[in-house]
Amino acid sequence: MAYTAKDYSRLIGMAGFSEALLKNHFTLYEGYVTNTNKLLETLTRMVQEDKATGPEFGELKRRLSWEFNGMRLHEYYFDALGGDGVVDSNSRLAQQKIADFGSIDGWLKDFKAVGAMRGIGWAVLYQDNNNGKLFNCWINEHDSGHPAGCRPILIMDVFEHAFMLDYGLKRADYIEAYFKNIDWQAVQSRLSQTKP
């Protein structure tokens, strides 16, 4: 059941992201994959050895969601990069943004405002699985704050490791570079194909 880190070297050379920043970010992501596998192995062994009743098991089980979500959120983040950032205003995703935010620009302003908030974390465009609506959300930690029953559509990493090497404290410049590199077809593929 071991997870394997994906190879994102195709992103090296992407405008607005230095090779050093990307390689550091890939290494961080690979650490989440490694730690997810270690925790799964340890937790399985603890259950098999009837050691799943103490605080050690509980703390490791809680830590698993941090490592797993760190792995998965980075995959969502990297998988959506490498595009030209051009939005097809006739796409299903664009039409859903217009329906839920009044306009594509309305959605973009809201998402960028979430990403520019003080603090470290993630800006996430979610789709509510119950009604299909889109909304933007701030996530402080990998393992907490995710709205139940929602599908992540677009993830922007706003932890310092994602931008400080290239942009220092200029998070807004990083956000602009991020949007110039989005692969909107990859993002749209995450939308639910069924109506609630």
* Residue spans of beta strands (DSSP E) within 6-165: 122-128, 134-139, 150-157
194 confidence band (pLDDT: 50, 70, 90): low
How far does Cα 37 stand from its chain's mean position?
19
147-162 residue pLDDT tens = 999 999 999 999 999 9
CB 195 within 8 A of CB 133: no
142 confidence band (pLDDT: 50, 70, 90): confident
Tell me the average pLDDT of the chain.
95
Q: Is the overall model pTM greater than 0.85, yes or no?
A: yes
100-127 residue pLDDT tens = 999 999 999 999 999 999 999 999 999 9
pLDDT of 145 reads 84
Question: Is 1's pLDDT higher than 80?
Answer: no
Q: 18-79: which CATH topology?
A: Helix Hairpins (1.10.287)
CA atoms of 14 and 180, how far apart (whole Å)? 10
Mean pLDDT, range 23-50, rounded to an integer = 97
pLDDT of 195 reads 57
CA atoms of 133 and 122, how far apart (whole Å)? 20
Angle at 195 between CA 140 and CA 190, to 5 degrees: 45
Mean pLDDT, range 126-138, rounded to an integer = 95
41 confidence band (pLDDT: 50, 70, 90): very high
Helices 104-115, 171-180: inter-axial angle, 10-degree rounding:
140
Q: What is the DSSP letter of 153?
A: E
Q: Was domain 92-188 assigned CATH 3.55.40.20?
A: yes
Of 134, 124, 66, nearest to 98 (Cα)?
A: 134
pLDDT of 124 reads 97
Question: Is 11's pLDDT higher than 80?
Answer: yes
CA atoms of 118 and 106, how far apart (whole Å)? 21
CA atoms of 40 and 8, how far apart (whole Å)? 24
Q: Please list the residue range(s) of the chain that carry CATH number 3.55.40.20.
A: 92-188
> Could you tell me where the DSSP H helices lie in the chain?
19-48, 55-79, 92-101, 104-115, 164-167, 171-180, 184-188
Q: Please list the residue range(s) of the chain that carry CATH number 1.10.287.
A: 18-79
